[in-house]
Amino acid sequence: MALPQTPDSNPVDYIDEEDFIALEMSHEVAGERLDKILAAALPDYSRNRLKSWVEAGAVMVDGKITKARYLLRGGESIKVFPQEMPEQFAFSPENIPLDIVYEDDSIIVVNKPPGLVVHPAAGNWTGTLLNGLLFHYPELKLLPRAGIVHRLDKDTSGLMVVARTALAQTALVRQLQERTVGRRYLAWVWGEAPSQGKVLASVGRDQRDRLRMAAGIAQGKPAATLFRRLAKGEFASSPLALLECRLETGRTHQIRVHLESLGFPLLGDPVYRKKTPGAAKTLPFHRQALHAYALSLEHPATHETMTWFRLPPADLMDLMSEVAIDLDSLPTEAGLMASIQNDHR
């Protein structure tokens, strides 16, 4: 993975707020070598691998690239950008059908179906959105991560934007960093959710299970999720609700983690299940009930504010009747536009 560049330099690479590791050094490490401290702080990675990252310029000390033998003064801020393994560069085009919502010379907006992995990784080296993009848009092979600038979980459906040029990728990444990209989700949750609310809780790796994220982690990153209830429902006498969620930050699994921390786990979520009622065992739905239904951003070339809207896929539409929520409870495109205008006042 390429390192982020300055605005006047080459386009920055893919931004996901889990893609770098931040380390704050105490003054007690004064005189210690950088490679030794990295090995102690990041035991999940081998010393040779960490050293290769330093040599590749993927470790920054107070914003500067340095050597593995660099002696720390104490008090530094270190950012480590984990580098991909060689197999992750072996991406090949695959004829995967894509639901393209919008495209022009600068960007592509795709409606990702549930079950589609966005980016190749261990266990999913093929059959991903990236592989499909490379087939339909061969020019994307020239861009880092084929122009992908943000992710959705495998079993989350909905809208994503992809850059077609280096300039567009730089502009989109900058908007993501500045939190000006509007992302709205529909979430079906268990419990008596209030009419509206805001969750302010850091999100980071669960110290007991590295495959999970957790809220309120001391070493986590600040995260904010706003939500409002669109409708109440019920299944097997257990209350539930349909929520609209808006992200102010984009942490991994943020909505799933934040809502579970309030006692409102998503229907069908196989990972974040605290306070899930027994009725969930008989609900015929087996993925997290989460859909990215609206996306808005400033077009990288025209600077026009653009918004896209997509109703949930068939499985979530079918779920509505199972949980006694009327389809009229879903947002409309006209209602979305009015809501966005109101937000900007």
Residue 39: pLDDT band with limits 50, 70, 90: very high
Question: Is position 6 within any domain?
Answer: no
Do 104 and 186 sit in the same domain of this protein?
no
Question: Is position 15 within any domain?
Answer: no
Do 231 and 318 sit in the same domain of this protein?
yes
Digit-coded pLDDT (tens) for 177-230: 898 999 999 999 999 999 999 999 999 888 888 778 999 888 888 999 999 999
Domain containing 121 equals 87-177
Digit-coded pLDDT (tens) for 57-107: 889 899 888 999 999 999 999 989 887 665 555 578 999 999 999 999 999
Residue 12: pLDDT band with limits 50, 70, 90: very low
Least confident of 82-91, 150-159, 190-199, 308-317: 82-91
Do 169 and 300 sit in the same domain of this protein?
no
Question: Is position 114 within any domain?
Answer: yes
Consecutive H or E run containing 235: strand 224-235
Do 151 and 297 sit in the same domain of this protein?
no
Question: Is position 2 within any domain?
Answer: no
153 among known catalytic residues: yes
CATH number at residue 146: 3.30.2350.10
Location of structure tokens 């939500």: 227
Q: What whole-number distance in Å separates Cα of residue 218 and Cα of residue 51?
A: 27
Residue 47: pLDDT band with limits 50, 70, 90: confident
Question: Is position 44 within any domain?
Answer: yes
Q: How many domains does the chain have?
A: 3
Output the CA–CA distances (angstroms, integers) from residue 46 to 60, 73, 154, 205, 264, in the order listed. 18, 24, 28, 20, 39
Do 190 and 103 sit in the same domain of this protein?
no
The larger pLDDT score, comparing residue 130 to residue 177, is at 130
Do 97 and 237 sit in the same domain of this protein?
no
Q: How many distinct helices (H) and strands (E) make up the chain?
A: 7, 15
Do 209 and 293 sit in the same domain of this protein?
yes
Bridge-based pairing state of the strands 290-298 and 157-163: parallel
Q: Which member of 16, 35, 153, 269 is catalytic?
A: 153
The yes-or-no verdict on residue 338 having pLDDT over 90 is no
Do 261 and 213 sit in the same domain of this protein?
yes
